[in-house]
């Protein structure tokens, strides 16, 4: 395996999880081992001290309750020192002057002396517990030294010792077992962590493989969902939602590109044809004027389409900055109505309004003029001669509603769901007549949403349509 492959392997999540898992197990083993070591050592020491106290108490009570001779005391000590099979005790008995003592044959340290300080404690009725290390032995003795009080005076000093080899051996065995089992447990934890990580990360591997197969020409693939309800399943669900949005965006972009190409192709072809006609032969000034007029109309249509596309591009990129200022919305609507009155008169359409209230709003006046102009232009275009277009303005506490109602052909329920899509036209057969690119409503919707407002549409086939623009009165630029 190359160094690059090894680096890549150790950078995988599975390996890192396995390593962290093994480190966690190692730390737990260390903590558990330390705790067990402490508990075992403490328990064995405590049990040894209890045995020493019980043995010494039995001897003390036996001496107090019986008038033993020296031989009797020697026999008692020998019996007690040889009665324990696994924990043999070493015993010796001093008189208070330490002039003589009686000890068991197995006493571990015959030359052990009692210090004056310890002797003083014995006279006062205290007892001591200590560890005594003997040269040549691997483990210490645990020794209890206590007074034997007969009457009101201390007559003897009793020492009982237990060799702690068995206790130390138990601790050593535990340490050996722990050291032998720890590597096995760590290896098992690495293997277990690796297997668990592989099992839990296998859906991510499948996600990666599926994601690599998704291309612009194949957007139908989706990430496999295990339906386990865990975080990986939630990730797959989220990615699938994202892919749905991306596919929808790709579809809209493809449709948008096709529609724009078609929209530009017609005026460009018309412009090209007009120029070719002009160049085909000499013509009169009137003919040139007529051909130039048609060329100008085509150029205006191209310019309008390009302008709309640039506006949508700015909206999509978030670079469309609002220039907010306070203005009278009623006066603005009157200006727009006057601008479209000649057009409505030409088509024999009544353009009327209820008296506009004096309403001051905070917004981008130029952009909002474009919104109302687009809506009014569409209302006039799709209203038959003899029809009516009505504009109203309603002042509500925190917002305003501008309604534009026409008596046109109406919009189907299916078209209402798509009416704000780019390049969508309700009546495609009339696009050549009206010259619309299908971008006006999409632009209008973006502008209104930039103003934290919304557009609502109501329509009945054969009756007409109403576009309601709801805008806040006091928009704060953020």
Alpha-carbon torsion (117, 121, 123, 129), positive or negative: negative
pLDDT of 391 reads 92
The answer to whether 380 touches 351, Cβ cutoff 8 Å, is yes
Predicted pLDDT of residue 7: 47
- Position 406 scores a pLDDT of 92
* Beta-carbon count within 10 A of 371 CB: 26
Q: Is 375 helix (H, G, I), strand (E, B) or coil?
A: helix
CB 51 within 8 A of CB 80: no
Return the closest-CA partner of residue 368 out of 333, 419, 405.
333
User: Where do the domains of the chain lie, and which CATH numbers do they carry?
Assistant: 13-170 (3.30.450.20), 231-315 (1.10.287.130), 321-472 (3.30.565.10)
CB-based contact 435:266 (threshold 8 Å): no
Low pLDDT (below 70) residues in the chain? 1-14, 82-87, 97-100, 106, 108-111, 216-217, 226-229, 252, 255-256, 259-260, 262-263, 308-320, 422-438, 476-478
Closest CA to 19 of 192, 190, 191: 190
In this predicted structure, what is the pLDDT of residue 253? 73
- pLDDT score for 111: 66
* pLDDT for residue 432: 44
Q: Which residues contact 98 (CB under 8 A, 6 or more apart)?
A: 114, 119, 157
Tokens of 370: 């474009």
């Amino acid at each position: 395996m190359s160094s690059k492959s090894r680096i890549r392997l150790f950078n995988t999540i599975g390996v890192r999880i396995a390593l962290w898992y093994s480190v966690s197990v190692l730390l737990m083993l260390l903590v558990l081992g330390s705790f067990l070591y402490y508990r075992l050592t403490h328990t064995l020491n405590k049990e040894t001290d209890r045995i020493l106290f019980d043995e010494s108490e039995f001897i003390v009570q036996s001496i107090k309750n019986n008038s033993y001779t020296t031989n009797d005391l020697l026999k008692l000590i020998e019996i007690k020192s040889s009665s324990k099979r696994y924990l043999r005790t070493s015993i010796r008995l001093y008189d208070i002057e330490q002039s003589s003592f009686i000890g068991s044959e197995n006493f571990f340290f015959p030359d052990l002396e009692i210090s004056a300080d310890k002797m003083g404690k014995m006279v006062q009725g205290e007892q001591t517990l200590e560890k005594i290390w003997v040269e040549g032995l691997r483990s210490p003795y645990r020794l209890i030294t206590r007074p034997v009080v007969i009457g009101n005076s201390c007559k003897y000093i009793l020492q009982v010792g237990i060799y702690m080899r068995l206790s130390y051996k138990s601790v050593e065995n535990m340490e050996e077992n722990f050291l032998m089992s720890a590597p096995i447990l760590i290896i098992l934890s690495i293997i277990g962590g690796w297997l668990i990580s592989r099992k839990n990360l296998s859906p991510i591997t499948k996600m990666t493989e599926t994601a690599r197969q998704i291309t612009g020409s194949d957007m139908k693939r989706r990430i496999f969902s295990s339906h386990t309800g865990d975080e990986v399943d939630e990730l797959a669900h989220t990615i699938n939602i994202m892919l749905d949005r991306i596919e929808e965006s790709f579809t809209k972009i493809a449709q948008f590109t096709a529609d724009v190409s078609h929209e530009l192709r017609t005026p460009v072809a018309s412009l090209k044809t007009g120029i070719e006609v002009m160049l085909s032969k000499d013509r009169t000034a009137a003919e040139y004027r007529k051909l130039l007029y048609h060329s100008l109309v085509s150029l205006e249509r191209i310019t309008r389409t390009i302008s709309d596309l640039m506006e949508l591009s700015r909206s999509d990129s978030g670079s469309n900055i609002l220039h907010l200022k306070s203005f009278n919305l009623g006066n603005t609507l009157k200006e727009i109505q006057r601008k479209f009155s000649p057009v409505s008169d030409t088509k024999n359409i009544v353009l009327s309004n209820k008296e506009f209230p004096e309403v001051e709003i905070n917004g981008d006046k130029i952009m909002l003029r474009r919104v109302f102009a687009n809506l009014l232009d569409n209302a006039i275009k799709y209203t038959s001669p003899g029809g009516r277009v009505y504009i109203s303005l309603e002042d509500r506490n925190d917002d305003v509603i501008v309604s534009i109602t026409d008596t046109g052909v109406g919009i189907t329920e299916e078209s209402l769901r798509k009416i704000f899509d780019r390049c969508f036209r309700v009546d495609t057969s009339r696009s050549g007549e009206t010259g619309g690119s299908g971008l006006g409503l999409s632009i209008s919707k973006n502008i209104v949403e930039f103003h934290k407002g919304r557009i609502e549409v109501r329509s009945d086939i054969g009756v007409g349509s109403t576009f309601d623009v709801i805008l806040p009165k006091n928009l704060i630029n953020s």
